[in-house]
Amino acid sequence: MQNAKCKIGKGSAFRILHFAFLILHSFLIAALPTYTASAQKQKGFKLTEDKQKKQLNVLYNGQLLTAYCYFDSVMKPVLFPVNTIDGITVTRGYPLQPRNGERTDHPHHIGIWMNYESVNGLDFWNNSTSIPSQNRNKYGTIRHISVRKGEQKQNTTSISAQAGWYRPDGKKLIDEDSKYVFTVRGKRFIIDRMSTLTATEEDVVFKDVKDGFFAIRVARELEHPSQQKDIFFDAQGNKTDVPRLNNEGVTGMYLSGNGKKGDSVWSTQAEWVQLTGVMAGKKITIAIFDHPANPGFPAYWHARGYGLFAVNPLGRNIFSNGKETLNLTIRPGNSVTFRYRVVIESGNTITPQEIDQLSKEFNKK
C-alpha cells in the first residue's frame, strides 16, 4: 500500500510538472508577438519629455541623440548634449556636465542655441548665472513657454517650441516660434531649425555686433590646436580669459564653402562651413548651413578656434569693417524667419562636394 502511494505521488508530480511546462510554453508563445512589437517600437525616433528636469529627449533606436532643454539657469532653450549616431558627444560639457581637460570659458556657450548680443541694447548672447547681480539689468533672457511633439517616424521626427525674448523688467520684446526637425540617414544626424521672431509692442533692433547668432560649442577634441591664449570682452565690458591648453588629441579644422580654412574662416562670408576632426578614434564632421531666405545671406561666420562655431547674419558692420550695415529692425506685429541646418557625421569626413549637394538640398526647403 505504501509503494502504491509512492507510485501515485510520482505520477502526480510528473503530471503537475508537465502541466506547468505547457502553461509556461503557452505564455511564452502568447507573449512573443508583444515582445516583438515592443522591440520594433524601439527602432527609429522616440520623443520623451521629463517635465521635472525640464527637457524633451530625442532618442534614436533607444539612444539619446540630443535633448531640448529649458533649464531656468541657462537663460535660453538649448539642444544639449548633441551626440553622433554611434554615441560620441560632440558638444562641450561645461558648465552643465564638465569633463576633464575641456575649457571653462564662456559659460553661456551651451550645446546648440540661437540668440544675439544686442537687441534693443540688451545682451541676450552673454547672459548666464555668472553675470553679477548688479549688472543683470543689461541682459535679456529667452524663456521657454511650451513644447509640442511632432510626428515620430522611423528616420525623422520634429518638435515645435514657443519662447519669449524678455527684458530684465519682465516685458516681452519678441515672440519666438521654432520648429526642429531631426533626421537620420545612415551615420548622418541632421538637425533643421526654423525660427520665426515676431516683435510684440515696439520696434526691435538687432544692432550690428559680433556675438551671434546660431551656434554650437564643440568638444575639446574638435577645437583647433593652438598655442596662444586669448582675452575676450562682451558688450558690457566683462572680460573672459581663454587660456592656452595642452593640444594633445585636439584635431579640429574649419573649411568654408568659399575655400577659407582654419582661423581664416572667421569674419568671412559663405553659404556653409564644416568642422572636421577626430573623436574616440573616429573621423567627425559637423557642418552648418545658411539659407537663401535668411536676412543677410550669405552670412558671416563667427567661427573661433577655441570651439565656438557660429553663423552670424546680423553683424555685417563689424565683420565688413564698416563697409556694410544691416541693423535689422522688426516692426511691432511683423516677423522675420531664420532657417539653419546642422549635419553631424561620425566615421567619415564629408567631402566639400557632398557638402555642396547638402547645401543645394537645404536651399530648396
Taking the C-alpha atoms of residue 281 and residue 279, their distance in angstroms, rounded to an integer, is 5
Predicted pLDDT at 230: 67
- Dihedral sign, Cα of residue 70, residue 159, residue 110, residue 53: positive
Residues 148 and 20 placed together within one structural domain of the fold: no
Q: Taking the CA atoms of the chain, what radius of gyration do you get in angstroms?
A: 26
Residues 143 and 14 placed together within one structural domain of the fold: no
Residues 92 and 10 placed together within one structural domain of the fold: no
Residues 32 and 47 placed together within one structural domain of the fold: no
Pairing of strands 308-312, 328-330: unpaired
CATH number for the domain harbouring residue 245:
2.70.98
Contact 220, 280 (CB under 8 A): no
Residues 248 and 345 placed together within one structural domain of the fold: yes
Q: Grid coordinates representing 283?
A: 573621423
Taking the C-alpha atoms of residue 71 and residue 129, their distance in angstroms, rounded to an integer, is 12
Q: How many domains does the chain have?
A: 2
Q: Grid coordinates representing 137?
A: 539689468
Hey, how many other C-beta atoms are within 10 angstroms of the C-beta on 279? Answer: 20
Residues 155 and 236 placed together within one structural domain of the fold: yes
Residues 24 and 142 placed together within one structural domain of the fold: no
Residues 25 and 71 placed together within one structural domain of the fold: no
Residues 37 and 75 placed together within one structural domain of the fold: no
Structure-derived torsion over alpha carbons of residues 27, 28, 32, 35, reported in degrees to the nearest 10: 90
Residues 54 and 153 placed together within one structural domain of the fold: yes
Predicted pLDDT at 234: 65
Residues of the chain where predicted confidence (pLDDT) is lower than 70:
1-42, 227-228, 230-235, 237, 239
Residues 7 and 90 placed together within one structural domain of the fold: no
Residues 49 and 78 placed together within one structural domain of the fold: yes
Predicted pLDDT at 64: 98
Predicted pLDDT at 31: 42
Strands (E), the chain: 45-50, 55-60, 63-69, 78-82, 112-116, 141-149, 156-166, 172-185, 188-199, 204-206, 212-217, 230-233, 239-242, 253-256, 272-279, 282-289, 300-303, 308-312, 328-330, 335-346
Predicted pLDDT at 223: 96
Taking the C-alpha atoms of residue 145 and residue 166, their distance in angstroms, rounded to an integer, is 12
Predicted pLDDT at 20: 46
Q: At residue 53, what is the residue type?
A: K
What residue numbers bound the domain in which 261 lies? 42-363
Taking the C-alpha atoms of residue 226 and residue 346, their distance in angstroms, rounded to an integer, is 24
